[in-house]
Amino acid sequence: MNVDKIKQHFPETNIKVNEPLSHYTYTKTGGPADALIFPKTKEEVQAIIKWLNEEDWPVTILGNASNLIVKDGGIRGATIILTDMNQIVIKDKSIKVLTGAALIEVSKRAYQSGLTGLEFACGIPGSIGGAVYMNAGAYGGEVREVIKQVTVLTRDGRIIERNNDEMDFSYRHSKLQESDEIALEVVFELEEGDKEVIKEKMDELTYLRTSKQPLEYPSCGSVFKRPTGYFTGKLIQDAGLQGLTWGGAQISTKHAGFIVNIDNATATDYIELIEHIKKVILETDGVQLETEVKIIGEDYPALSGAEGSFLKRASNTLKEKLKDKKQKTVIEKS
């Protein structure tokens, strides 16, 4: 893969080489992208995807990297980030928006136009594309309830328009997760509403979010899907894990469903802590937690020699301490 070649082929496109993805992820972690590409239009994305396919490049698509962990080894090939595709057009009760736009901004623009239906999204820190991919939701609302149409790009370069019922929306799921299609544009269909009522609802939800979520630290948002019949944060609290720190990552003392970066955490810190939480909750409660956050990329190359041996011993010591703490918690609960 020749990065210079793609820069020569798309001279007007913003392309960064060997760019640390920690500059873009909400966790402030993640290794470098071989080529990080910032298209501005649907047609530009289509042309880039077709060229990359012809050149046999691996391709990764990112929105604004909010509910995402990129591993410390980074991402090989081409990574396309859509945040420069952010045009919003409002006509009557419809909002047509390119998928790099922030969901929070679209919710705000809806309010300014006196349109109701997106109040629940006023604090969700994701892009429109990511919101469609995950069927993002909060406080009883989901984007599937207000989406009329999604324009997608297939991985072989075809642009297709899909209606809501073709998107297979369900809890934190859409068709895109199986089809690997790329959402390019979304049409929201809202209702006219009272601006004062809309503002009151958004203010209420903003207060709930800021009072309960650890927004003062970098994080990937809610780490786990809510298991049927349980609340993830309470499971983690009851297992005695809240406040547990692994490297620079910590289970938030404010909301146990979040893992925050308190001291230069690595993606490996996050991932190992996630796996530890899953293991403890399965053993103590019999509940298999599923991650809501998406984990992608390459592992950091293993260290060898004295340095690698030291890090392995340190990691094993920490794991033994966590194991002892977990066992003590189980005894106290029983």
What pLDDT is recorded for position 318? 53
**Which SS3 state, helix, strand or coil, does residue 75 take?**
strand
DSSP 2: -
Query: 95 and 50 share a domain?
Result: no
Query: 65 and 162 share a domain?
Result: no
What pLDDT is recorded for position 322? 56
Query: 201 and 112 share a domain?
Result: yes
Query: 161 and 271 share a domain?
Result: no
DSSP 299: P
Domain ranges, residue 58: 3-81
**Which SS3 state, helix, strand or coil, does residue 163 take?**
strand
What pLDDT is recorded for position 151? 98
Query: 180 and 278 share a domain?
Result: no
What pLDDT is recorded for position 207? 94
Query: 288 and 313 share a domain?
Result: yes
CA distance 250 to 70: 17
Q: How many domains in the chain? A: 3
What pLDDT is recorded for position 156? 87
Query: 222 and 311 share a domain?
Result: yes
Query: 95 and 202 share a domain?
Result: yes
What pLDDT is recorded for position 324? 54
Q: Which helix (H) or strand (E) holds 285?
A: helix 267-285
Query: 129 and 191 share a domain?
Result: yes
**Last residue of a domain, which of 81, 109, 143?**
81
CA distance 166 to 56: 29
CA distance 182 to 300: 27
Residues of the chain with confidence (pLDDT) below 50: 303-314, 317, 326-334
Tell which residue, 232, 246, 219, has the closest CA to residue 321: 246
**Which SS3 state, helix, strand or coil, does residue 116 take?**
strand
CA distance 23 to 280: 32
CB 151 within 8 A of CB 161: yes
Which amino acids are annotated catalytic? Answer: 172, 222, 292
What pLDDT is recorded for position 320? 54
Side chain identity, residue 282: L
Query: 108 and 194 share a domain?
Result: yes
What pLDDT is recorded for position 327? 47
Q: Residues, the chain, total? A: 334
**Last residue of a domain, which of 159, 182, 210?**
210
CATH of the domain at 42: 3.30.43.10
Q: Model-level pTM?
A: 0.85
Model pLDDT for residues 189-203, shown as the tens digit of each residue: 999 999 999 999 999
**Last residue of a domain, which of 59, 81, 103?**
81
CA distance 72 to 295: 11
Sequence-ordered list of residues with C-beta below 8 angstroms from that of 79, at least 6 positions apart, any chain: 21, 33, 34, 35, 36, 37, 59, 60, 61, 62
Query: 329 and 261 share a domain?
Result: yes
Question: For residues 100-135, b (16+ Cβ closer than 10 Å) or e, as one string?
Answer: bbbbbebbbbbbebebbbbbbbbbbbbbbbbbbbbb
Residue labelled with tokens 């269909």: 189
Query: 205 and 231 share a domain?
Result: no
CATH of the domain at 268: 3.90.78.10
CB 88 within 8 A of CB 109: yes
CATH of the domain at 118: 3.30.465.10
